[in-house]
Chain A
Amino acid sequence: MAAFRTIPLLALLLLVQCLYAQPKKSNTPRPPRARFNAIDKLSRMPPAQRQRQLEKLSPERRAQVEDRLEKYNRLPQAQKERLRAQTETFQNLPPERQEAVRKMFRRFNDLPQDRRKPVREELRQLRGMPEAERDARINSEEFRNNYSPGERQILENLTTLVPPN
């Protein structure tokens, strides 16, 4: 019978061991599909409820999320699906590469308003070109003349780091 008295003690020791051994709750990234589900749910919420969900963010970040959500929701369904597929592929890349691309995209967004449009158009064209043609274009004199060193870096990095369409 004495053996039975030791069972709860052993179980308690096991529990303590489990508590100590459990990995700390980390900010493990959700898989891309789960993130899109969260975005879909956020999109379908009434504005007041969405406000409550986003109130942890600063006013600027909240406004940016709402703006991007609205732009995304306005897109035709076919384009939405294409963007989702591209984003999912991108989010499966190594985190360092993802972060490098985002950094470049933020630099692109920091360009003056009048420079963003030509750079964006150039990017779209470069991404649609075969590799040899793209290299020739990047090394061309016209390319060097049209864009500043900073812009050229953005164009080159975004063209090579972002997966093709």
Chain B
Amino acid sequence: MQCPIKTKENAEILLDYSSGKLTPDLSAIFQSHMESCEDCRAFSIAQRSAWEALDAWAPMPIPADFDRKLYARIDQYEKSRWWIKLWHRSIWQSGSFGPAMPIATACLTLAVGVMLWLPVNNKPAVDLASPQTKMESSDLEQIETTLEDLEMFRQLTPTSARS
């Protein structure tokens, strides 16, 4: 028999033997091969250990109300608002959106931050011509002051300079 490890052919023989699915004839041939093949023997021992470990593993007992709790959670998720679902998908399954969602959130937040950061003086001028627009008290005070200054210069300007 040609070594399945060295030739990389009939590799399934290795797995089938380890899981006990190999026919008795093939098992006998493989066993005789293993006596002279160190690699196959080591592989077989490792596989057997893995199978024995799996056989020895006992699953944790499932609580009696596991199903009820699971379906309740699913039902709660289904009834939740769209943005909560979106948040959960973004947080727990970020692969579903890729990096788009966090980057979009970051950009939006930064944009709001920059808008708030802009100096107050950069706000557009108040359109006083609009009937809906109301002047701020500070604007009114500045208009009052300017009118007072104009009145002062009107009175202080000599008649000759005025004509």
Interface residues of A (CB under 8 A from B): 1, 4-5, 7-8, 10-12, 14-15, 18-19, 21-23, 25-30, 32, 34-39, 41-42, 44-45, 49, 52-54, 56-57, 61, 64-65, 68-69, 71-72, 75, 79, 82-84, 86-87, 90-91, 98, 101-102, 105, 120, 123-125, 127-128, 158, 162, 165
Contact = CB atoms under 8 A, between A and B. Distances in A.
Contacts of B112: 15
B26 interface: no
A72 B144 CA distance: 13
A120 B159 CA distance: 11
Contact of B146 (A22, A45, A87, A162): A87
A71 B148 CA distance: 11
B152 A35 contact: no
For the residues of B in contact with A, the DSSP-based class is helix
Given A10-B106, A123-B155, A127-B158, 11 more contacts: A4-B94, A5-B94, A14-B110, A19-B113, A49-B131, A53-B133, A54-B140, A64-B144, A72-B147, A84-B150, A87-B150
Given A105-B152, A124-B158, A27 B106 contact: no
A90 B157 CA distance: 14
A165 B158 contact: yes
B99 interface: yes
A65 to B, nearest CB: 6
Interface string B107-150: 00110111011011100011011010111011111111111111
A39 B135 contact: no
Contacts of B152: 101-102, 105, 162
Nearest to A128: B158
A105 B148 contact: yes
B149 to A, nearest CB: 5
A104 B112 CA distance: 47
Q: Which 9 pairs from chain A and chain B are nearest by CB?
A: A11-B109, A27-B138, A124-B158, A11-B106, A68-B147, A41-B128, A18-B113, A8-B105, A4-B102
B91 interface: yes
Contacts of A32: 146
25 contacts: A7-B103, A11-B110, A15-B112, A19-B113, A28-B121, A29-B142, A35-B143, A38-B143, A39-B146, A42-B128, A45-B128, A53-B128, A68-B150, A71-B154, A72-B150, A83-B154, A84-B150, A90-B149, A102-B149, A105-B148, A124-B159, A127-B156, A128-B158, A165-B157, A165-B158
A65 B102 contact: no
B162 interface: yes
Nearest to B121: A28
B53 interface: no
Given A65-B147, A83-B150, A102-B149, A14 B113 contact: yes
Given A69-B147, A82-B157, A127-B158, A19 B116 contact: yes
Nearest to A57: B140
A69 B125 CA distance: 21
